[in-house]
Structure 1
Amino acid sequence: MNKTFWKQFAIALGLFLLGYLTFNGKLFAQTLEKPKVSIAVGGKNLFYYLPLTIAEQLGYFKDEGLQVEISDFAGGAKALQALVGGSADVVSGAYEHTINMQAKGQIITAFVLQGRAPQIVLGVSNKTMPNYKGIGDLKGKKIGVTAPGSSTNMMANFVLAKGGLKPTDVSFIGVGTSAGALSAMRSGQIDAMANLDPVVTMLQQKNEIRVVADTRTLKDTNDIFGGPMPAATLYASEAFLKKNPNTAQALANAMVRALKWLQKAGPSDIVKVVPESYLLGDRALYLEAFMKVREAISPDGVFPAEGPATALKALQAFEPDLAGKQIDLSRTFTNDLVKKANAKYK
């Protein structure tokens, strides 16, 4: 037998093994470039990030060969800082950050949509502002947000702008996303608050706030922003996605699987999966809050075509620096990975 035969035999054997390994889900070509991934999130207990928690708790990241470490911060702006500073590979955070960062010369790309409505509520304290009449009354007041610069801050800015106020007309105070936020409102430290569920529903139930703007439903979101508004995403630097395509795909697969699980899950299923601390001591209220935001959760992780333009328009309403900047929205998000994930998990 000559060398040509053995060469062809080796090639054929290699192709056979490649096919076998592909069939068994262990394709070497699909080896994860970075099996250990650190994800930063600002307020992991919120329904806003529920798909991330589901993917983690049900082992979907592990099923994709990933070791994911999730670091929880007081708000989305802090999570973004972790990414920029290099201590996080990926952020579970608001889509708007991708636009703001591009305006500053850094390309950040969102690759999974977790929420198709922001779920953020702006509420006024019935304790310190019982005679509230309109947005103008908030001038000079203290408004609580999860963290300054976070999506809650952006939403509040947008609502203020629609009411004729500038961000500098009020004082923003970071109050976090759980017990600290409740305490700040109940003690009168703040006059209004932009926050999310389950915190908002807890305050509503005891008539402690009056809701001024609500983006927990698709209709209300369209009414406020004039179109679909992308909310929670998974985002990373464009460089990370290019360098680690298989890792990014694995992350997208796990998240899309979690989104599909959430479409079928009942309230009791959710309670069994999330950590006890997320319930803030009131299981029934947690479930009530979940039903209010359920439709805001993306069914498939896909960004709506008009969504990025809606977000840019909203940001331009209160950020003069953005008005003159050329933003390439096509680099702020991609649907490529979630499309493949949806083909895998139907």
Structure 2
Amino acid sequence: MQRRTFLAGTAALAGATLAGPSLAFAQPGQLETRKVSIAVGGKNLFYYLPLTIAERRNFFKDEGLEVEISDFAGGSQALKAAVGGSADVVSGAFEHIILLQAQHQMFREFVLQGRAPQIVLAVSKKTMPGYKSIADLKGKKIGVTAPGSSTSIMASFVLAKAGLTANDVSFIGVGAGAGAVAALQSGQIDALANLDPVMTKLDRAGEIRVVSDTRTLADTHSVFGGDMPAGCLYASQAFIAKNPNTTQALTNAMVRALKWLQAATGAQLIETVPESYLLGDRALYLAAWDHVKEALSPDGLMPAGGPGTSLKTLQAFDANVKGKPIDLSKTWTNDFVTKALATVKS
């Protein structure tokens, strides 16, 4: 027992040393509300890793926040929780904010988690051994985290570039973990649009053929033609206006998590995330992490051309966005991140 206590204390000290620059924490009395509910779809994915780090390393608590995170099968379901009022904030895909504005609902991104989507579209070697091109997906079943999620958006865009539409395939919700792996392995789906560590696990097992990849900046630019913002924290404009200090505290914690991830070793990452994230293979998890680390935002800032790329992507295939007067300036802000970065102590 004494040895375990000593090791735990040593690990905590190492983590504190690793954090290096720390943010000037908000005082609880300054917050409009301490309790914040965050909805996320597929929390175990690297796409949302900064959220897990902020939670597990108590960065939210350091800001005086009591954060409750609800995990859904996909981003589209997390979005519904916020629209329905059961969640204050969403950790989800930026493109959902544009889709909401097209429906006259005003939400805004306030801290970016990912600067590349990390989504991989692959076909099953079992059910599509003769695959030659995207056109071969016509009439096939494509697994996504959830219909309407960022995985189905990415797949729809790839299909559109090849002259196909979402109506030419069947999107099947398979989640973001072991369920997705099982669906592919059992032949329930012919292709899969998902993220790491799921895709690296299937690829290493020789069960998929990758046909479109957005895990690196170069691959993302190749698929989308520019910077493509991915995971972020967003909330209704009404929530942000009513709770600016709470929103700032959330941003501070997330920026701190992003900074921590830039310096974290593989051992420290494994020590921090829940065992269930590893899919039973620590070495595979770390290999996947090395592949996608570049995709995470180093500072939380939205890249200048990112919102425009996201809008063009949706306009390529989504009838709900085509021709709609979207005001991109109302979909994002760097104000909270800029303030967070300014409070970093040397």
Q: Same fold by TM-score, threshold 0.5 exceeded?
A: yes
Maintained 8 Å contact 2:28/2:63: no
Maintained 8 Å contact 1:43/1:176: yes
SS of alignment partner, residue 238 of structure 2: helix
Maintained 8 Å contact 1:93/1:232: yes
2:108 aligned with 1:113 = no
Maintained 8 Å contact 2:25/2:252: no
The alpha-carbon distance between structure 1 residues 250 and 203, as it changes in their structure 2 partners (threshold 3 A), is same
The sequence identity of aligned pairs, in percent, is 69
Q: How many residues align?
A: 322
**Structure 2 match to 1:255:** 254
Maintained 8 Å contact 1:256/1:345: no
Structure 1 residue 345, shift from structure 2 partner: 2.3
1:299-318 superposed matches below 5 A? 299-318=298-317
**Structure 2 match to 1:126:** 125
The alpha-carbon distance between structure 1 residues 181 and 27, as it changes in their structure 2 partners (threshold 3 A), is closer
Structure 1 residue 321, shift from structure 2 partner: 2.7
Structure 1 residue 34, shift from structure 2 partner: 1.1
SS of alignment partner, residue 323 of structure 1: coil
Which whole-Å CA distance do the structure 1 matches of 2:198 and 2:252 have between them?
Answer: 30
2:146 aligned with 1:156 = no
Which whole-Å CA distance do the structure 2 matches of 1:270 and 1:297 have between them?
Answer: 14
**Structure 2 match to 1:296:** 295
1:75-90 superposed matches below 5 A? 75-90=74-89
Max Rg structure: 1
Structure 1 residue 343, shift from structure 2 partner: 1.0
Structure 1 residue 320, shift from structure 2 partner: 2.3
Structure 1 residue 344, shift from structure 2 partner: 1.4
The letter for the 2-side match of 1:251 is L
Structure 1 residue 27, shift from structure 2 partner: 8.3
Any stretches of 5+ residues in structure 1 without a counterpart? Answer: 1-22
The letter for the 1-side match of 2:126 is K
**Structure 1 match to 2:176:** 177
Structure 1 residue 26, shift from structure 2 partner: 4.0
2:329 aligned with 1:330 = yes
- For normalisation by structure 1, the TM-score amounts to 0.92
Which whole-Å CA distance do the structure 1 matches of 2:25 and 2:185 have between them?
Answer: 56
2:230 aligned with 1:231 = yes
Structure 1 residue 280, shift from structure 2 partner: 0.9
What per-residue deviation string (whole Å, max 9, x for no partner) do you get for residues 100-128 of structure 1? Answer: 00000000101010000000000000000
Any stretches of 5+ residues in structure 2 without a counterpart? Answer: 1-23
1:1-346 superposed matches below 5 A? 26=27, 28=29, 31-345=30-344
Structure 1 residue 267, shift from structure 2 partner: 1.3
SS of alignment partner, residue 254 of structure 2: helix
The letter for the 1-side match of 2:315 is Q
Maintained 8 Å contact 2:26/2:249: no
The letter for the 1-side match of 2:183 is A
Maintained 8 Å contact 1:41/1:79: yes
Structure 1 residue 24, shift from structure 2 partner: 9.7
What per-residue deviation string (whole Å, max 9, x for no partner) do you get for residues 243-295 of structure 1? Answer: 00000000000000000000111111110100111101100000000000000
Maintained 8 Å contact 1:120/1:195: yes
Which whole-Å CA distance do the structure 2 matches of 1:119 and 1:179 have between them?
Answer: 18
What per-residue deviation string (whole Å, max 9, x for no partner) do you get for residues 300-342 of structure 1? Answer: 0000000000000000000123121010001100000000011
Which whole-Å CA distance do the structure 2 matches of 1:80 and 1:73 have between them?
Answer: 10
Across the aligned residues of Structure 1 and Structure 2, the Cα RMSD in angstroms comes to 1.2
Which whole-Å CA distance do the structure 2 matches of 1:132 and 1:218 have between them?
Answer: 26
What per-residue deviation string (whole Å, max 9, x for no partner) do you get for residues 109-162 of structure 1? Answer: 010100000000000000000000001100000000000000000000000001
